[in-house]
Amino acid sequence: MPIFVETGPMFSGKSGAVVEVVKRRLIGGQIAGKDFVVFSHQSDNRYGEGIIASHNHERVVAIPRTTSLGIMSFLLNLPENMPDLHPGLIKPELKNVRSLIVDEGQFFDGKLGRVLTAIDTLWRLMGKNLEITVAGLNLDFRGEPFPTMADVLSRAEKVNVHVAVCHVCGENNATMTQRLVDGQPAKWSDPVKVVGADELYTARCKQHHEVFGKPILTG
């Protein structure tokens, strides 16, 4: 099965798409932790540890992890020396998992794409399909690609790019995440990964997106 990616700026409905995926599986009689597994990043505790919430306040419970290998170690019995992966390492109680869902993919390390590809390969070797859905920001507050998500996007068979309503002009064309510090646009030199919600971020279109001190040429 393909890797699906839900991406775009903050407030564009990515987490809502994740919640909808989970709801449909529950409606289909599937059981969390048996038929599908949902992961979130440990640092994203805006709504409580292991809670994914849409902006219309629907919530699902996720398994918090700090690293990509943490996702793999939940699914596999991994010896310390990390041998060549084979289906025999899959935990018996998880061999019937049909769907893997990861929220806030941009917070994970750069191994996420390779880990998900390896997991997908193991399920294929068992002769089973595993649907993988990843939600995350494609761009940081500076308008630069998140390396982890860029790699995941390059591996995806299907990408759904969400847009939000621009906080300045009100048009449904916001593709950028605007970070604010004391109500003012953040500086280019500020840390890239800062967890927050509408107290720190808004969505803006390219015309109204601002970053103080942004160089003309980046990279």
Extract the tokens encoding 45.
């505790």
Return the biggest CA–CA distance within the chain.
55
What backbone torsions phi and psi does residue 24 show, to the nearest 5 degrees?
A: -65, -35
Q: Where do runs of H (alpha helix) occur along the chain? A: 14-27, 68-75, 112-125, 147-155
β-pair partners for 4: 133, 158
Question: 37: closest CA among 4, 75, 11?
Answer: 75
Question: 149: closest CA among 110, 194, 196?
Answer: 110
Exactly one of 49, 58, 93, 104 is catalytic; name it: 104
Among this protein's residues, is 104 annotated catalytic?
yes
Residues in the chain, total = 219
Q: Where do runs of H (alpha helix) occur along 43-174? A: 68-75, 112-125, 147-155
CA–CA–CA angle 108, 114, 117 (5° rounding): 115
Report how far residue 4's alpha carbon sits from residue 207's, in angstroms, rounded to the nearest whole number: 29
Active site positions, annotated: 104
